Amino acid sequence: MTTTHRPLRSGPALTDVRLSPAAVVLCCSAVVVGTGFVLGASWLARPLLGLPVGLWLIAAVYAAWRRGWLDLLEASIPLPVTPAGAKLNLSPLTQRRLAPALRLGVAARAVVADLTVAAWNFEPRSPDQLREAVACALDRRPELAAPLRIGIAAPVDMTRSITTHEAAVPVCWRALDEGRSSSASAARLDLVFRHDGMRGGVANIPERDRRPATWFDWSTPRPLSFASVFPHHVDPAQLTITLLPGADAHDPLVTSMLVAAAAQARFPARLTLSDRFFGRMPLDGEEDPSHIDPGAFRVRAMRRIAQTLSARDPTDASTLERTAASVVCAWLVTPGARVPMAERRSLLEAVAPFVRNRPETWLRLAAVRFANYDDDAAIQALLEADPLVRSSTDQIVVDQAGFVQSEISLGGSGPLTLGRIAAGICLLAAQHPYERLEFLRDDLLEDLRYSGWLLGRDQDSVMLHRVIRELTRIRRAESRGLPGTISLHLITTDAA
């Protein structure tokens, strides 16, 4: 794991060379004229008032630049960008009714803008590039997204109980025939829930070719690894809802889970251009309490699950409650959880007791506690996770060294970076016996010594050294038959 490329102390010698804008304009004009003459534009050499036409063109371009006329043809902004709402001043209801036409208008404008840039820069444009430009333009207009569309194929009483509960985001419920099989993709639905004849059902979320989901089934835990502890997304392919005998079939948590799964399916990588034209647009954005922002629907749907669980007793949790807690815990450490870090911790501490027997819960708690500068509680969470991780080493089928080294080298300046590295060290240490732990510690300390991420962050470096010492101390004590640690920070439902 030794890092071979160390940061340079000085940059290249040519970094001090500066070219004036006038020289750049003259050189570029001369290159264009010379290239045109070589390609067959012989008229550029014809004399005009004693000088070749090409030289007059270079002088004309330079004069136009000096007078600022070239600013009108700036390639980076070929068309003025103005919000459609500011020009048309549409009410939310009118905008929702005209959303299909507005989406077509945004697409047409994106095509014209992209072709204008291509023509000005003499660049070809493929159909895939045009589709990408239209998709990006539509993704920047979340207010044109259609409400979530969820189909229910279940008995009348179950359908009524699911649809009557309040949803955190706008939802268009659609009753489906239980005997007819209809795919969510063909019906342009975000999710289809089917009753399985027993107490529960299966919700299927559409998947396109080469656009798979990142989590097959929310009810099935993923194999333990750094990538599953800190996922980038939590969009599922399906959701199995199991209600045990005696459970409440009208639990509002069922509605919250279906809505959250449908909202997570609106992930940009899973949507095609056709989906976007029909209103299935990404719902991932900042939440603004002053107005209803569809871009924040994913955040609101997941927060509703956490709030529902926080009011319940985790002592005798049901399968559905444990599944919901596992999903929320995973989502709270993703980049898409655009909520303040203090709120992340409060929500994670509230739902963690439902899945406290899973090692990934403690590792995520440690990361969030580090991000909130509660280092002692974070260290305690790592010590709680260590025996659980070592008892689950049969699930760790991939070497975690690459993940840890990548975080150390390219971790960035995010608030969760320190906690992610500490959790990765815990996972990596669990894969090695105590006899090899000393060598692993030396390699980690050397990587930390030459890490560019830790430059100027002495407190984080000291904390990572402490994490390594604590994990080594626990393993040493266990190898000698001594007690390892005493839990001082137990998760409680009212933890802050």
Length of the chain: 496
Structural tokens at position 416: 């969760």
Highest mean pLDDT among 43-47, 295-299, 353-357, 455-459: 353-357
Return the SS3 of 254. Answer: helix
What's the pLDDT tens digit per position in 170-179?
Answer: 899 998 887 6
Return the SS3 of 304. Answer: helix
What's the pLDDT tens digit per position in 197-209?
Answer: 665 788 999 888 7
pLDDT at res. 306: 93
What's the pLDDT tens digit per position in 191-235?
Answer: 999 887 665 788 999 888 778 888 899 999 888 999 899 998 899
What's the pLDDT tens digit per position in 375-406?
Answer: 999 999 999 999 999 888 777 777 788 888 88
- Runs of H (alpha helix) within 19-176: 21-38, 53-66, 84-88, 92-97, 99-120, 127-139, 156-164
Q: Residue type at 76? A: S
d(CA 59, CA 66): 10
pLDDT at res. 191: 92
117 CB burial (10 A radius; 0-12, 13-18, 19+): middle
Domain boundaries defined on the chain = 21-73, 92-140, 146-355, 356-496
d(CA 474, CA 482): 9
Residue 77 has pLDDT above 80, yes or no: no
Inter-axis angle of helices 319-331 and 252-264, to 10 degrees? 40
**Percent with pLDDT over 70 in the chain:** 79
Q: Which of 186, 208, 201 is nearest to 243 (CA)?
A: 201
Q: Of all residues in the chain, what percent are helix, strand and coil, respectively (each to 5)?
A: 55, 5, 40
| Parallel, antiparallel or unpaired: strands 215-217 and 191-195 | unpaired
d(CA 119, CA 111): 12
Return the SS3 of 149. Answer: strand
User: Mean pLDDT across the chain, nearest whole number?
Assistant: 79
